[in-house]
Structure 1
Amino acid sequence: MFDAALQGLMGILQWKAFAMMMIGIVISSTLVAMPGVGSKTAIALLLPFAFVLEKYEAIALIVSVWAVSNTANSITAILFSVPGGGGSQATIMDGYPMAKNGEAARALGAAFTASAIGGVLGALALLAAIPMVRPLVLLLGPPEFFMLVMMGVVMVGALAGKTPLKGIAIGVLGFAISLIGIQSQTGTPRYTFDILYLFDGIGLVPLTIGLFAIPELISLAARGKTISNVDLGDLSAGRLQGIKDAFKNWWLVVRCSMVGVWVGIIPGLGSSVADWFAYGHALQTCKGASKTFGKGDVRGVIAVDAATNAKEGGALIPTLAFGIPGSSTLALIFGGLLVVGVTPGKEILTTQLDVTFSIIWLLIISSILTSVLCLMFTKQLAMATMLRPTVLVPVVLAMAVLGSFAHSNRLEDVAVMAIFGVLGYFLRLGNWPRPPLLLGVVLGPLAERFMWTSYQIYGYGFLVRPGVLIIAAILVVSLAYPMWQKRQAERAQKAEVAAGGES
């Protein structure tokens, strides 16, 4: 393994391979940061170059674009409340409020640092998984996957803050929206109303952009003021504070990185779930989070960015070990490996182990380099929050429209963005939480697929499998613990009031 690790490192450090990695990083930090474009589009555009490149050069180009995409996604999420991709949706929750509070540089500094650490931890997790990956992946079946998705549903109530009933109602609406389209197991159209576009369901990218970006743009235009409500102050100090925040909350970074790795291991979940799992975990475990999360708590940014970057290492475990791509993006990378003569599975863990290590080195090096480059330009990025709405709104709106259209090159996606933009605006006015709706849309198809498969294999008996019962117990604790915390806080407050009255 030592020889393979050294050979993989030397392969990546060849000047042509290193240059391809830098090109991939630049492409990822610019093109991928645009809403709706994503790493999948960038990799698809670059894949033809794999035919004319050497093995390490092609791997460096393709993998680097994917490996650092989540770092770039955070830029627009924090600055403009526009998710650059699926993994940056939860970054908006605290990143954008920090930008509004004049702490954009601090939020970006924390996000980039947490991304670098998460990327390294994800790569190390992949390294550690090589000798024991088979029992790890085969341990869980569809019933356990179903229960894990249900754990994500628990986050719906947690993300709703002081209004859990509103959160549950909006989450159910999200599940209902996820039912639109062709039922994958039976091929039956549901709620399509004979509209051809709806046969594929509602696109997640235009829905997300509409739900989060459009309401903020409307509010920004109506207010007539810049995004930041206060002076940005010393941007260098803000960036440095963000870096310190990431290291100060090192245990949160480690925990959420492990959450990201675990989500990445499970095929089909991906970054659209990893960020919410990590955010929900931080919300339930961080001291005082119920009062500060959603209002500009840097820990919310750190948790999400650590998880989404660490997820990449976990996602590669089933892809490389068993040839099971966990997402469409990984399927493209799978195709790129085949183009250069690398077959995921037994070969890549035995005779071509150097390729596995080259990918691990790529995850580590590219994550660190990307974060360093982004930190160098944090001041310039943060200053974008001071642009006048007359300049900013048209530009961001154009990006939102372009990102929605790029999802599937159909104008209907732009219409979906507009519809959910209006819905999101009225939800915002009524203080209804928007994240549970998005979470319901993301988790709905996964829950349905795993439940269907579980029933087909085990019948109702899947509900009493040991793994299901263990996860169900964790689920109950996850529900009961926040309620117990809230009750304790209420008792303490009543005791303080009573003590004050006696004095």
Structure 2
Amino acid sequence: MLASVADGFALFLDAEVLLLCVLAVFVGLLLGVLPGLGGLTALALLLPFIYGMEPMAGLGFLLAAHAVVYTGGALTSIALGIPGSGPNAATVIDGYPMTRAGKGGIALGAAFASSGLGGVVGVIALVGLLPFLQPIVFHIGSPETFLFAVMGIIYVGVLGERSMARGLIAGGLGVFLALFGYDRLQGVPRFWLDFDYLLDGIRLVPLVLGLFAVPEILDLALGRRAETPAVGRRDRFAQIGEGLKATIFRPYLLIKSSLLGVFIGIVPGVGGDTAPFVAYASAKQTSATPEAFGNGCVEGVIAPEASNNAKEGGALVTTLALGIPGSAGMSLLLGGFLLLGLEPGPDFLANHMDLAVGLAIVLAFANLVAVVVMIAASPLLLKIADLRPQVLAPILAVLVVLGAYAYQNEPLDVVATFVIGALGCAMKAMGYSRPALVLGFVMAPLIETYLHITLQAYGMSFLLRPGSLVLLVLIVMGLSWGRLRRYFLAAAARYGGNGNAKR
């Protein structure tokens, strides 16, 4: 293994590989900043360019671009309240309120630091797990995957902006919207209203843009958005430094959120979009001040951003070790392997461990370079939030239209974005959690598919599997932790109060 690490560094330090990785970082950040153009778009656009390259150069180029997309997406999530891609929606919950309160620099500093450090944690986990992963992943079957998805849905309640009930209602609406189109098990069309566009279901990018971008653009156009407090350039740098310190001084939150991202990324089929929401919910449940979440809490920025980048290390683990993509983005990266004549799997690790380690180093390098680039550019980029609404609204509208159309070159996606935008406006006005809807939408296909497979294979006895029992305990702990913590804090306060009174 040590020899493989040395060989991996040698592959990475090739001048061509380094140059391509740096170029890919800038491309990935740009695609991340533009609303609607996420990691899948980055890989799809860059895949044809690697043909004929050396494996390390081509795969490093793809992986570096994909790894930093969500770091770029944090900018629009925090500065404008518009997620760069689906997983960035969790960052909006607290990042955007911080910008509205004049603390956008703190939010960006925390987001970039946690993204970079989370990505490094993911890489360390990747290198450590590669030699031992195969027996672990083969024990994760459909019951465990189903319960992972259920755990994600249960955490929907934590994302409620005013109450758990509203969070669950929003999540349930997301589950319903995911049912449009063909039944995944029987191939029967559902809720398609004799409209061919709906046969493929509602797409994620129009959904995210409609829920988040359209309401913000409308508020800007109508002058309903309060002005952001003015912050000077020097103060912006000071705020970014404060955000960096806020991340470093919360090592437990950073490591816990990163490991959650790695763990969820490893599980095939669960999908990396889930990780930021689970990390956010976990941070809120274990925080000493859960009431601060949703109102501009820096912990609500650190947790999702750390898991967002760490999950790529976990997803790469199963892609390399088993040839099973750990996320949708990794499925396109798998296409890059095949294009270059390589086939990931157990034999790949036996024959190309040096290449696997080299790709892990690329992942860490790309995350750290992205952090440096975004921190250096943040004071300038934050000025976007200071533009006059009459200027910013039409620019954002054009970007939203381009992002929705570029997703699949489908004009009706643009129409769907603005139709869903009406729902987003209503939810924002009534205080229902839009990120909870996104999470319900993402998790619904997994629950439907893996519940059917599990019941067919195991019946109700799947609940007695060791992995299922562990996950059930985690689900119960997740549901009860908040109440138990409040109970013990109240009991401690009463006990302390009585002691003080006696003294």
- CA separation in 2, counterparts of 1:203 and 1:249? 36
Counterpart of 1:152 in structure 2: which amino acid?
G
Counterpart of 1:351 in structure 2: which amino acid?
N
- CA separation in 2, counterparts of 1:254 and 1:484? 23
TM-score normalised by length of structure 2: 0.94
TM-score normalised by length of structure 1: 0.94
Match of 1:433 in 2: 433
Counterpart of 1:353 in structure 2: which amino acid?
M
- CA separation in 1, counterparts of 2:146 and 2:227? 40
- Structure 2 regions of 5+ residues with no counterpart? none
Q: Is the 8 A contact 1:67 1:363 kept in 2?
A: yes
Deviation per CA, 1:303-324: give whole Å up to 9, x if none: 1110010001000111101100
Counterpart of 2:399 in structure 1: which amino acid?
M
Decide which moves more: 84-93 or 340-349: 340-349
- CA separation in 2, counterparts of 1:281 and 1:388? 37
Q: How does 1:16-165 map to 2 (within 5 A)?
A: 16-165=16-165
Q: Is the 8 A contact 1:63 1:362 kept in 2?
A: yes
Deviation per CA, 1:199-250: give whole Å up to 9, x if none: 1111111111111121122223323666524546711110100110110111
Deviation per CA, 1:438-478: give whole Å up to 9, x if none: 22111111111110110111122223333223322221221
Q: Is the 8 A contact 1:342 1:352 kept in 2?
A: no
Q: Give the CA deviation at 1:45.
A: 2.1
- Paired residues in the alignment total 499
Counterparts in 2 of 1:254 and 1:187: CA distance versus 1, 3 Å:
same
Match of 1:8 in 2: 8
Q: Give the CA deviation at 1:54.
A: 2.0
- CA separation in 2, counterparts of 1:50 and 1:342? 13
Counterpart of 1:282 in structure 2: which amino acid?
A
Counterparts in 2 of 1:127 and 1:386: CA distance versus 1, 3 Å:
same
- CA separation in 2, counterparts of 1:250 and 1:398? 40
- CA separation in 2, counterparts of 1:20 and 1:299? 34
Q: How does 1:23-422 map to 2 (within 5 A)?
A: 23-223=23-223, 228-229=228-229, 231=231, 234-289=235-290, 291-422=291-422
- CA separation in 1, counterparts of 2:260 and 2:282? 9
Decide which moves more: 174-183 or 456-465: 456-465
Identical amino acids, percent of aligned pairs: 36
Counterparts in 2 of 1:14 and 1:425: CA distance versus 1, 3 Å:
same
Q: Give the CA deviation at 1:492.
A: 8.3
Q: Is the 8 A contact 1:159 1:435 kept in 2?
A: yes
Counterpart of 2:271 in structure 1: which amino acid?
G
Counterparts in 2 of 1:448 and 1:138: CA distance versus 1, 3 Å:
same
- CA separation in 2, counterparts of 1:437 and 1:443? 10
* Stretches of 4+ aligned residues off by more than 6 angstroms: 489-499
Counterpart of 2:308 in structure 1: which amino acid?
T
Q: Give the CA deviation at 1:109.
A: 0.9
- CA separation in 1, counterparts of 2:416 and 2:269? 24
- CA separation in 1, counterparts of 2:422 and 2:230? 28
Aligned to 2:257, what secondary structure does the other structure show? helix
Q: Give the CA deviation at 1:360.
A: 0.8
| Backbone CA RMSD of aligned residues | 2.2
Q: Give the CA deviation at 1:269.
A: 2.4
- Structure 1 regions of 5+ residues with no counterpart? none
Q: Is the 8 A contact 1:264 1:312 kept in 2?
A: yes
Q: Is the 8 A contact 2:167 2:436 kept in 1?
A: yes
Q: Give the CA deviation at 1:368.
A: 0.7
Q: Is the 8 A contact 2:91 2:304 kept in 1?
A: yes
